[in-house]
Amino acid sequence: MTAYNAIPAADIDPDSPLTTSLMTHLRDNPIAISEGSTGAPKNQTASYAAGSVDAAAIAADAVGQSEIAANAVGSGELKTATASQSVSVPSLGTADIVLTGGDQTMGYFYGGSTLWADITSIAHDQTYAARARFYNSNSSFARTVYVHSRYVQASPPYDLGDGECGLFIYVQIAANGDILGLSEAADPIWAHNGPTNALADSYDKDGIGYRHVRKLPPDAGRLSVAMAAVREKTAAGQALTALEVSALSRYTAAFKAAPMVRERITNEMKNADMNVIPSPYQQQGGTTIVMLDPVSDLSHELLHLKEHQGVNVSELFELGALEISSTELNRAGPTGMPIVDFGWKNAGAAAI
């Protein structure tokens, strides 16, 4: 860093000769000011033109936790989104639905399709998914439960292989064509509900998300494989063998000693659990679960309506404004999940 040297008034007196030292200071001091050298004058707020400091002027990683003032982060600074979901609960039966936000769900509320719908309990099973279970004690009729939630977003945008996605809409359809359930959100259901963590720990000035992970040595690959087996046994409620406990011990020691690195979140990470939690609904006999075309223009338009106008897209289907096509599209997505087209009903009618 260039040293800053104050120039005495005597050195610039009209009768004082020019010296090498003076000329050196005149050359170096502007550089020292730009570098923020010790003793150099600092730029004052009034010296910045309006709009002169933008993302390009901020160095990568220049703003960290210490630069954020206490109580400076409010709801407006959180990257959150809302999800609207519904599921049909049979009489004297239960129905499950996976919450879009998973363990990042900040809160949710639910209600029945009529004031006297009797939804009496919620239960969570022991899987990666945040699965809500609803019970209908009515002995005569099935009832639809509507679930609305707000959650911290994972790492949008998403690309399943055909381009950037808009709104993710899943529909559970009965054999007679009736809609039993509909789920819509800006994030896919697997983003927060699988074993892969695709939640950004930080963003750079260009909006690229990164997660902070331990960088294990190359020979730790064997332990990672062993850990995968341990997770499977844990999920199945099975006891670990002595060898598996030993692998767990070595993995833990290696993990603690590994350095922390910043890893860019890729599409592969975002979609790693696509076939683990492909939809918010459980497959039932006689029903079909489909995803509506997530890359269509309409999907992007509905996402903007939802985010900026608070439009409940689920209601557009209930009111008959939108209809689902039976034509399956050749789209990338979860294995075995039909992806179909959809559009406005009577789109050719005269505008209001």
- Decide if 92 is inside a domain: yes
Taking the whole predicted model, whether its pTM rises above 0.85 is answered as no
| Count: domains in the chain | 3
pLDDT score, position 120:
43
Residues 170 and 286 in one domain: yes
Residues 13 and 97 in one domain: no
- Decide if 60 is inside a domain: no
pLDDT score, position 65:
65
pLDDT score, position 113:
55
| Regions in the chain scoring below 70 on pLDDT | 55-57, 59-67, 69-77, 112-128, 219-221, 347-352
Other C-beta atoms within 10 Å of 291: how many? 23
- Decide if 66 is inside a domain: no
- Decide if 58 is inside a domain: no
Residues 10 and 42 in one domain: yes
Residues 132 and 264 in one domain: no
Q: State phi, psi for 154 to the nearest 5 degrees.
A: -80, -100
Residues 314 and 255 in one domain: no
Residues 119 and 38 in one domain: no
User: Which contiguous run of DSSP H or E holds residue 28?
Assistant: helix 20-35
Residues 221 and 173 in one domain: no
pLDDT score, position 199:
86
Residues 93 and 222 in one domain: no
Residues 168 and 114 in one domain: yes
Non-local CB neighbours of 279 within 8 Å, separated by 6+ positions: 98, 170, 183, 189, 289, 291, 334, 337
3-state secondary structure (DSSP) of residue 347: coil
pLDDT score, position 76:
62
pLDDT score, position 55:
67
Domain span at residue 245? 204-270
DSSP for 292-340 reads E-TTSHHHHHHHHHHHHH---HHHHHHTTSEEEEEEEP----STT--EE
Residues 171 and 286 in one domain: yes
Domain-ending residue, one of 242, 270, 298: 270
Residues 176 and 98 in one domain: yes
pLDDT score, position 303:
95
Residues 102 and 187 in one domain: yes
- Decide if 71 is inside a domain: no
